């Protein structure tokens, strides 16, 4: 058991060293010129404290007891200069450290977002958005404490301890040793508390992530909560999560508070011993009141920064609990990576056929595609239909390399997608899905999505073709109206038309339409369907649809079930076959419609 604990401690120490090195290399080292300037002001603040405690002796001995009038003005002027210098020094170092801490935290959060955008879809299926938000926002705030608490503490309080300790020794080294007699006895309890703080802080961060995730789910599903009358249930769940968080956060806070409390115990012992020992010497006339007051002031000022300085070890454990989670997140390697040069060339539009050859794929231990094979000819429209969970949307993810197949090959123009440049590969596709992704930017920005050098004529043509121009006059700022969070300022049909305009403007060789018209009314669907059919001419188009009426004109229809192709052919051929497609069609339209469906 003791060997296991020793091994765990060694591993933890090694991990701490790795995190500390990463912290230094990425966020501290290149800021050392600013940090050094701030530390200089911290030392100046500490020197002012030392000067104040030193000036107490002439204030008592020369002014209050000896009554030297001339000394009153000198001591008063010196005291005023000390307080002025201390205030100015404090303002300067706090301003510098606040600036650097915010800048470093912003860099870390940007770094985390940049890293997360490279990860595959499997990662996001296993990590909820709320948890990731807490990892990016909440855990990264620990970096602020590195600058505002840790570095400031070591610079300001460390300097204060050295300066005030020097004043105390200069006044009377024997009194200083007596005052510190109680400190060594606190070493063992301090070490035990630090290990406890680390565990409690880690538990508190995990609980905070749970609360963020619950909030994220509640706000995204607010309409469902209200329509089902589940508000009280959701609030109850959140309260339970918050009770758990409060319990764990309180334990961590108590652990941190215990460190300065132990220092207070040591200070109590030291003050008591010095008061007895020094008081006797003053009574005997071997020491002056001014000397004792100067020493007592230095000692009183010394224990406060010493308490904070000692608490920095506990603060470091708390910071590490968050930063190790942040560092671990940055170590997650994307499963989808760019190919090594030289890249295979992306095919021309006329050659952009799509083929899946014996493809298998799973999320974790759950198989989604099983030895799937089919070909979508270049310039033709291929529809993929089947029940929910058949793996249709997964096919699109493999084509665009949002995920990679576990086995088999995904080919475009006969070339393996894994050997193409990732940016060039994704440039082959324009996608419109049933989950329209709009951002809280203007409608113009949502249509362009980073596209450059787009003429007004091209933009207007895309807006007309997708029937976005039908509702633009109804909006307050037209094309410059904000879409709202997740496009909440627009209706479902309007969001879908914006996404279709984006795809039209992209003008890519391959179209991927995943329930592209699902949110449109019958009239709008007819207009947009016509626009998409025009756009599909000369392009390879893959369509996922549950409404079979939208795929009747497809050049071929792939019927999937449980990750496999069960039927393949045209609409008429599949109806005549009387198999899975015919049954799906009958479910949607009834047997009476089947005869009409077979007619041209």
The per-residue pLDDT for range 75-86, each reduced to its tens digit, is 678 777 877 888
Pairing verdict, β 366-376 and 354-363: antiparallel
The per-residue pLDDT for range 584-597, each reduced to its tens digit, is 888 877 644 444 44
Burial tier of 133 (Cβ tally within 10 Å: 0-12, 13-18, 19+)? middle
pLDDT along the chain (600 residues), means of 10: 67 82 91 92 85 71 62 72 83 90 89 86 80 81 86 84 77 70 60 65 74 75 68 82 81 69 64 65 67 68 74 76 85 87 89 93 86 92 88 90 92 93 90 80 85 84 84 87 83 82 85 77 70 76 84 90 91 90 83 43
Pairing verdict, β 415-416 and 429-432: unpaired
Question: Positive or negative, the Cα torsion across 313, 319, 323, 324?
Answer: positive
Q: What are the helix (H) ranges across 59-186?
A: 69-116, 121-126, 129-133, 142-145, 152, 158-171, 173-179
- pLDDT value for 354: 94
The per-residue pLDDT for range 398-452, each reduced to its tens digit, is 999 988 999 999 999 999 999 999 989 988 998 888 777 788 888 888 888 867 7
90 alpha carbon, distance to own chain's centre: 32
Domain with CATH 3.40.50.300 in the chain: 342-422+539-600
Calpha distance 156→133 (Å, rounded): 33
- pLDDT value for 227: 64
Calpha distance 296→290 (Å, rounded): 10
- pLDDT value for 33: 93
- pLDDT value for 507: 79
Query: Going edge to edge, which strands form the sheet with 510-514?
Result: 429-432, 510-514, 540-544, 381-385, 556-561, 564-569
β-partners of residue 409 are: 357
- pLDDT value for 21: 92
Class of domain 342-422+539-600: alpha beta
Give the angle subtended at the CA of 576 by the CAs of 574 and 579, to the nearest 5°: 60
Domain with CATH 1.20.1560.10 in the chain: 2-330
Neighbours of 455 (CB within 10 A): 8
Instruction: Identify which of 208, 553, 217, 202 has the alpha carbon closest to the alpha carbon of residue 383.
Output: 553
Structure tokens at 153: 């503490």
> C-alpha distances in angstroms, 556 versus 277, 473, 528?
100, 39, 21
To the nearest whole percent, how much of the chain has pLDDT over 70? 78
CATH topology of domain 2-330: ABC transporter transmembrane region fold (1.20.1560)
Instruction: Identify which of 441, 481, 447 has the alpha carbon closest to the alpha carbon of residue 463.
Output: 447
Structure tokens at 475: 């909006």
β-partners of residue 541 are: 381, 511
Structure tokens at 272: 């008591």
- pTM of the prediction? 0.72
- pLDDT value for 69: 66
> C-alpha distances in angstroms, 522 versus 102, 433, 517, 518, 600?
52, 18, 9, 10, 21
DSSP per residue, 395-417: HHHHHTTSS--SEEEEEETTEEG
156 alpha carbon, distance to own chain's centre: 31
Calpha distance 75→87 (Å, rounded): 18
């Amino acid at each position: 058991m003791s060997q296991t604990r020793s091994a765990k401690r060694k591993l933890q120490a090694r991990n701490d060293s790795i995190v500390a090195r990463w912290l230094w290399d990425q966020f501290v080292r290149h800021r050392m010129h600013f940090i050094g300037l701030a530390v200089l002001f911290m030392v100046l603040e500490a020197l002012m404290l030392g000067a104040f405690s030193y000036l107490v002796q002439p204030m008592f001995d020369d002014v209050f007891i000896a009554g030297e009038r001339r000394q009153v003005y000198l001591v008063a002027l010196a005291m005023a200069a000390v307080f002025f210098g201390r205030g100015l020094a404090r303002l300067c170092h706090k301003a510098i450290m606040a600036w650097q801490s915010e800048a470093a935290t912003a860099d870390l959060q940007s770094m985390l977002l940049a890293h997360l955008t490279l990860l595959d879809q499997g990662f996001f299926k296993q990590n909820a958005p709320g948890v990731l938000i807490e990892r990016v926002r909440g855990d990264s705030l620990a970096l602020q404490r590195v600058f505002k608490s840790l570095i400031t503490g070591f610079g300001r309080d460390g300097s204060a301890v050295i300066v005030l300790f020097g004043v105390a020794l200069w006044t009377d080294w024997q009194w200083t040793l007596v005052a510190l007699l109680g400190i060594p006895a606190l070493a063992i309890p301090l070490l035990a508390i630090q290990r406890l703080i680390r565990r409690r802080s880690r538990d508190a961060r995990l609980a905070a992530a749970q609360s963020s995730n619950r909030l994220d789910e509640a706000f995204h599903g607010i309409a469902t909560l209200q329509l089902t009358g589940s508000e009280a249930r959701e609030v109850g769940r959140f309260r339970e999560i918050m009770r758990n968080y409060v319990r764990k956060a309180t334990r961590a806070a108590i652990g941190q508070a215990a460190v300065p409390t132990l220092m207070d115990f040591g200070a109590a012992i030291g003050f008591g011993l010095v008061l007895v020992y020094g008081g006797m010497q003053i009574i005997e006339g071997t020491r002056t009141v001014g000397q004792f007051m100067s020493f007592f002031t230095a000692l009183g000022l010394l224990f406060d920064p010493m308490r904070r300085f000692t608490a920095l070890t506990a603060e470091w454990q708390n910071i590490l609990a968050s930063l190790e989670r942040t560092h671990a997140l940055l170590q997650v390697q994307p499963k989808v990576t760019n190919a090594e040069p030289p890249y295979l060339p992306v095919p021309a539009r006329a050659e952009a056929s799509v083929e899946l050859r014996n493809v298998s794929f799973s999320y974790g231990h759950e198989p989604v595609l099983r030895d799937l094979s089919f070909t979508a000819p270049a310039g033709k429209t291929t529809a993929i239909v089947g029940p929910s969970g058949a793996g249709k949307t997964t096919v699109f993810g493999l084509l665009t390399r949002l995920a990679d197949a576990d086995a088999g090959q995904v080919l475009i123009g006969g070339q393996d997608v894994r050997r193409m440049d990732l940016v060039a590969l994704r440039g082959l596709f324009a996608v419109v899905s049933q989950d329209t992704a709009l951002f809280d930017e203007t409608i113009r920005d949502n249509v362009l999505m980073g596209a450059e050098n787009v003429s007004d004529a091209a933009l207007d043509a895309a807006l007309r073709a997708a029937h976005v121009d039908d509702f633009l006059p109804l909006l307050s700022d037209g094309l410059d109206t904000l879409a709202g969070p997740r496009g909440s300022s627009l209706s479902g049909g309007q969001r879908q038309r914006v996404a279709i305009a984006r795809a039209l403007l992209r003008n890519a060789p391959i179209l991927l339409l995943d329930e592209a018209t699902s949110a449109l009314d019958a009239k709008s669907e007819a207009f947009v369907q016509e626009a998409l059919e025009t756009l599909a001419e000369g392009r390879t188009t893959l369509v996922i649809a549950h409404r079979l009426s939208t795929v009747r004109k497809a050049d071929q229809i792939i019927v999937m079930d449980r990750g496999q192709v069960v039927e393949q052919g045209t609409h008429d051929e599949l109806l005549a076959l009387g198999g899975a497609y015919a049954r799906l069609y009958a479910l949607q339209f009834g047997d009476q419609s089947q005869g009409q469906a077979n007619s041209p």
